């Protein structure tokens, strides 16, 4: 049976229609638009909560800067409670937004997979039809057709079809590339979701700590200013005793420190432990150090940080130890602390933390969150204390020689091991 040029053209047209008709319909525009609108709404809510958190932050700074008294202390705890509560709302909103983003990516992936499937099916089906209907050779086609022009015309039409098949194949490759990108984005969003869930758990724990501290304060003072002043005076006296013990002990330590074992200083050797940096107490023999410390020197740097502020490792290294001096009543020292042994011969101590995230012996990287700032140990207000050591000169000891802190472990170092952190940022 002879297949004329017109018949073949109809066949090619049918094949091309098969290719284009198999393309899947796009996801409903209204559904996608609603999803995006929902994501944008959550993003706007996060901005509003951020502004609210900043307002509480400023209130804490104002109240915290005033003369210390019971009412101010309670007020700071109340504002902190509101601030952390708002941070929890922000994290919950971020989790909802991330879930919506994952849903959106999942919908996009379904559409792309549908396009890949349809394109693959259309190409396979069309090639099958072509094989069944066009198995004749060029010579056979020439013998069956009336003129050479008809044969050429037929093969030109088939060439058009083959060009369209190639285009569909290239489109298929594009869809595959898009699918890989969407999959990578989804995995990234899932990791973010895991991190946010962990952060939410931490914030809830910090909120509980804040409430517990307020209840303890009210129970101890019976809401009387005179009782509060008496407690502060007692804590100050015990803190001075401990400092004298530690200063005398460390003054007798004779550790050999190789000056070539650690960097002598320089810009960018370590990173800041907080996102926002305000120094409230410098290192060394400052005016405040002479007033506040028995030794007359401050062995680190204090940074302003409200409760629940993420604290980050200043450099990569291994967590040498963690501790909590509040485990022994009357030990007014570092509170919850972390010591990290860095790769460059330096070690860093983070003190007065509200929550510890680091695990002894684990590896941490620069900028990794290791805990949250607070007001544990002896601290007149929430802040982060950072001490920097030459690693060869510091070790963790159970301070059995102490009177009030003999049952807790703390980092101790020879005087030459203490370094000014500000010389390394």
Distance of CA 149 to the CA centre of its chain: 70
154-169: b (≥16 Cβ within 10 Å) or e: beebbeebeebbeebe
| Helix axis angle, 225-252 to 70-133, nearest 10° | 70
In sequence order, the β-bridge partners of residue 369 are 312
Record the pTM.
0.80
Instruction: Give CA–CA dist 347/387, Å, rounded.
Output: 8
Instruction: Give CA–CA dist 129/137, Å, rounded.
Output: 16
Pair 331, 234: CB distance under 8 Å = no
Calculated CA dihedral for residues 212, 217, 223, 226, nearest 10 degrees: 180
Instruction: Give CA–CA dist 195/39, Å, rounded.
Output: 19
Model pLDDT, residue 62: 85
Q: What are the respective helix, strand and coil percentages of the chain, to the nearest 5? A: 60, 15, 25
Domains belonging to the chain, first-starting first, are 5-214 (no CATH), 260-423 (2.70.70.10)
DSSP-assigned states of every residue in 250-299: HHH------GGGS----TTSS--SSSS--EEE-SBS-HHHHHH-TTSSBS
66: Cβ–Cβ under 8 A, 6 or more apart, which residues? 72
32: exposed, middle or buried (C-beta count within 10 Å: 0-12, 13-18, 19+)? middle
Instruction: Give CA–CA dist 334/286, Å, rounded.
Output: 20
Instruction: Give CA–CA dist 347/394, Å, rounded.
Output: 8
Model pLDDT, residue 356: 98
pLDDT in tens, 24-37: 545 455 678 889 99
Show the tokens assigned to 160: 């058009």
pLDDT in tens, 126-179: 666 556 555 555 555 555 555 556 555 655 555 666 676 677 778 778 888 888
pLDDT tens string, the chain, 425 residues long: the values are 444 444 454 455 555 555 555 555 454 556 788 899 999 999 999 999 999 999 999 998 888 766 578 998 999 999 999 999 999 999 999 999 999 999 999 988 888 888 888 777 767 776 665 565 555 555 555 555 555 565 556 555 556 666 766 777 787 788 888 888 999 999 999 999 999 999 999 999 999 999 999 999 999 999 999 999 999 899 988 888 888 888 888 888 888 899 999 999 999 999 999 999 999 989 986 544 444 455 567 899 999 999 999 999 999 999 999 999 999 998 999 999 999 999 999 999 999 999 999 999 999 999 999 999 999 999 888 899 999 999 999 999 998 888 889 999 999 998 889 999 999 99
Show the tokens assigned to 67: 């003369």
The dihedral sign for the CA sequence 376, 379, 383, 384: negative
8: Cβ–Cβ under 8 A, 6 or more apart, which residues? 134, 154, 157, 158
């Amino acid at each position: 049976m002879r297949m004329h040029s017109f018949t073949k053209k109809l066949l090619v047209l049918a094949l091309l229609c098969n290719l284009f008709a198999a393309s899947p319909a796009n996801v409903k525009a209204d559904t996608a638009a609603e999803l995006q609108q929902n994501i944008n709404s959550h993003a706007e809510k996060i901005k509003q909560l951020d502004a609210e958190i900043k307002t509480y932050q400023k209130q804490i700074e104002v109240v915290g800067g005033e003369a210390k008294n019971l009412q101010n202390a309670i007020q700071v705890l109340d504002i902190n409670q509101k601030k952390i509560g708002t941070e929890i709302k922000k994290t919950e909103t971020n989790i909802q937004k991330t879930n919506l983003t994952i849903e959106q990516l999942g919908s996009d992936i379904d559409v792309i997979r549908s396009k890949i499937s349809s394109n693959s099916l259309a190409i396979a089906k069309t090639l099958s039809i072509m094989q069944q209907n066009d198995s004749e050779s060029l010579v056979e086609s020439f013998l069956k057709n009336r003129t050479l022009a008809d044969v050429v015309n037929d093969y030109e039409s088939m060439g058009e079809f083959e060009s369209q098949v190639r285009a569909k194949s290239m489109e298929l490759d594009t869809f595959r590339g898009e699918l890989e990108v969407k999959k990578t984005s989804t995995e990234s969003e899932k990791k973010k979701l895991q991190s946010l869930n962990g952060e939410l758990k931490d914030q809830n724990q910090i909120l509980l700590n804040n409430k517990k501290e307020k209840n303890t304060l009210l129970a101890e003072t019976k809401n009387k200013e005179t009782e509060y002043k008496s407690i502060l005076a007692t804590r100050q006296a015990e803190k001075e005793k401990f400092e004298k013990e530690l200063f005398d002990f460390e003054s007798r330590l004779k550790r050999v420190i190789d000056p070539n074992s650690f960097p002598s200083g320089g810009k960018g050797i370590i990173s800041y432990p907080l996102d926002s940096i305000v120094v409230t107490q410098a290192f060394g023999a400052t005016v405040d150090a002479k007033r506040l410390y028995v030794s007359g020197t401050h062995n680190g740097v204090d940074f302003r940080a409200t409760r629940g502020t993420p604290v980050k490792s200043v450099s990569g290294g291994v967590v040498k130890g963690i501790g909590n001096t509040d485990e022994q009543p009357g030990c007014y020292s570092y509170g919850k602390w972390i010591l990290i042994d860095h790769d460059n011969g330096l070690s860093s101590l983070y003190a007065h933390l509200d929550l510890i995230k680091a695990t002894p012996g684990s590896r941490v990287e620069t900028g990794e969150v290791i805990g949250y700032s607070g007001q544990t140990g002896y601290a007149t207000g929430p802040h982060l204390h950072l001490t920097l050591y030459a690693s060869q000169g510091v070790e963790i000891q159970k301070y059995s020689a102490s009177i009030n802190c003999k049952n807790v472990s703390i980092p101790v170092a020879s005087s030459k091991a203490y370094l000014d952190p500000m010389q390394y940022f």
